[in-house]
Structure 1
Amino acid sequence: MSPGSAPPLRIAVIGHVEHITLGRVPAVPRPGEIAHLEAPRWFPGGGGGVAFWQLARGPAEVHLFTALGDDEAARDVEAALAASGARIHAARRAERHTRDVVMVTPDGERTIVVVGEPLHPRAADPLPWDLLGACDAAYFTAQDPDALRAARAARLLVLTARRRPALIRSGVRADVVVGSAVDPREASALADYPVAPGAVVLTEGSQGGRIETAGGTVRFPAPPDPGRAGGAAYGAGDSFAGALVYYLAAGLPLPDACARAGRHGAAVLRGTDPREAQEPLAPP
């Protein structure tokens, strides 16, 4: 940092990171069939992992709060996360780390088999939760309501819509809830939250998306066609969420931040491994 320049943004990701094995299949197997993954690869992914990788591709100081098992998969995940250069704060669990198998069909859609329950950090874990009070933003994709209360200490709190039950139980007010309008786990409206968030952002793929606030609903445009050419949809929504957190923390108005984040979500469609296709973040 040069003399007189502002310090980098400090952003936290709080949630699960799975050991992902991803490959292509001609079709999702029907009952009794066997599918062979073509060109399989592994990487740390999942809802928290992909958003983390997107944020790590920018100038912010990134802190990951997560949990790890005690097997080879956990050690592989930990080593790959450490290589990112970000700060990793991991609780330890005396169990196997969660693995995902992701099957990508020729149309780019993905089917995910989760082996075991995702491992989430909890407020009772001996992690530096006080650090969140010094963060410009926190992205929450964990399950513990107490951990969510700790995340609320950040200047900006963004939450995946998949964690609506945790948000309701916590009683805190999120600044933004983000999800997909076509995912039944995520589609929601302000009226679905006893403590209404500042905004609900729902993506709609090639149609762009919409933002609902107390003042009404506005739309944001779809990004340019990324030239999918056989890419995979895995990680697009989580890359959008990670980029959205960054641009909001950097001071962009919500509609502008959504439009910028859309480009990062769409970029993932160009490849198979989302880490390889994610575009770097840059200050607006």
Structure 2
Amino acid sequence: MTLEGLHERYVNFYTDFAFKKLFGTEANKELLRSFLNSLLDGQEVITSLSYLNSEQLGTQETDRKAVFDVYCENENGEKFLVEMQKAEQQFFKDRSIFYSTFPIREQAQRGDWNYQLKAVYTIGILNFSFDDSDPNYFHHEVKLMDTRTKKVFYDKLTFIYLEMPKFTKTEEELVTMSDKWLYAIRHLPALWDRPKALREKIFEQFFSAAEIARFNTCEKIEYEESLKAFRDWYSVLSTAQNKGYSEGLEKGMAEGMEKGMAKGMEKGEKNKALSIAQEMFADGVPLSTISRYTHLPLEILQQLLTKE
């Protein structure tokens, strides 16, 4: 095994290895605590965290299990699920809701119980955008709400989604700790020195833990494998976008899917689209993402790619 391609000083946060090393290990637990406190903006001050079993089973033997990226609780017993998603997944909101049911159900007590629950927070660090209506709205905080009064109906279930591509603040514009954490996460692999705006001691620990030169041989190999998987995934998406489809995508966006598909079929591009779709599907890319990049209707992809 060679250690080629590790030319950056710091890791790419969106790799599975880096995310779990920086936010999912006892040695770096303070990094996660600081990050979570920055998101909660003083609403809940977390003084300590404990990691919990990331593999959760249902209450019945036949229930589907869930494997969380990072699962922990604070000193008050409140639960935190922290997930990193490097690319858009079909039904990712459904996945968040489904995962949140596990820390809710595990609070059930045997015998007499009054159903009082501890709060559950689900945090998604997303390397994609799911809401195109506002390019500046990247920090979504979702709770159960009364649709008439617009007031929070239940404040113990919170979903926080961070659309990282929308975070475009420069170093000079960083004000809050949340700003600083998002800047550090997004720009980590492109940095060579710790930015002056990130003077807090917690970022000294963050950059030290993220420095590849400090890894042992096993860690470097694990990181390289994780980085390769990330680059392969990104390459598949980029290929679908660029490989002979620049003109087709532009016209499809301007003229609509049906007209774009008709023109693509006239030029013999349908077979090429299907070929790329098959490659993307084989690499685990969600059908919704394949449809968006290839301009093939979702129902057609479902028929061609998911049949037995």
Name the TM tier (shorter chain): under 0.3
Whose strand fraction is larger, Structure 1's or Structure 2's?
1
Q: Which has the larger radius of gyration?
A: 2
Bigger helix fraction: 2
| Alignment TM-score, normalising by the size of structure 1 | 0.28
